[in-house]
Structure 1
């Protein structure tokens, strides 16, 4: 678990032939797989073990804006962030995808995703209100003050 609150997280992805569709660029469903990959990596990197063992997350909604695309062999950076405190059992996660050069994002996002995620109790499979201690490492400092 990170020592200080963390509100963003990045992964780097290199596109391969399996990511490419009939139009020669990354398939729309692949972008969504990557959204889930970066969100899961963020949760696993930051949450304490007791939270990993107790809770699961499911997506309830995705909104995607496509402004560009990439071909096979391209490197992209997926950067996720949580800007607002949770609302009950849900919170909004944003993911931007950037072209990458030398491991760094270049220019404006080529794909932007806004997703609503809901927290599930692992034992009961029921929605749970997100406690402040679960949200704290993911939201900007001070965003949990009203929880």
Structure 2
């Protein structure tokens, strides 16, 4: 099941073209992923592991101005490959039109050692659609 998060653009999110800056979209992609993790992971899992992005692929399809709201939706369609998996994200406006779509590759690190960790099935299960 996809995870959703609603975000409203603030004046600080807006660039000289009058819409949400591309760097802000990247931050929002990270924000929804981190919020998803902290919502489903146990305190022990959060203390033991941290996720890092290794790749983003982003398609910008529409603009959002200050005060406008988008709904971010994220899901993981396939099981992890070792320490990594691809997370899909889509942001839509109130009109249902897609503003941004992305696929990000995330890797799992052991917090104590900073080393990559294979994503075990029980850790991946809550993410999978």
TM-score (norm 2): 0.97
Equivalent residues, number: 129
Give the structure 2 partner of residue 23 of structure 1: 17
CA distance in 1 between counterparts of 2:97 and 2:62 reads 10
Residue of 52, 60, 64 corresponding to 1:70: 64
Aligned pairs (5 A) from 1:67-146: 67-100=61-94, 106-140=95-129
Shift of 1:107: 2.1
Partner of 2:119: helix, strand, or coil? coil
Gaps of 5+ in 1: 1-6, 101-105, 141-147
Q: CA RMSD in A?
A: 0.9
Shift of 1:58: 0.3
Partner of 1:30: helix, strand, or coil? helix
Shift of 1:108: 3.3
Partner of 2:96: helix, strand, or coil? strand
Gaps of 5+ in 2: none
Residue of 35, 38, 45 corresponding to 1:41: 35
CA distance in 2 between counterparts of 1:49 and 1:98 reads 31
Superimposed CA distance per residue, residues 5-45 of structure 1 (whole angstroms, 9 cap, x where no aligned partner): xx421111111110000000000000000001000000000
> Following superposition, which runs of at least 4 residues in structure 1 exceed 6 angstroms of deviation?
none
Shift of 1:113: 0.7
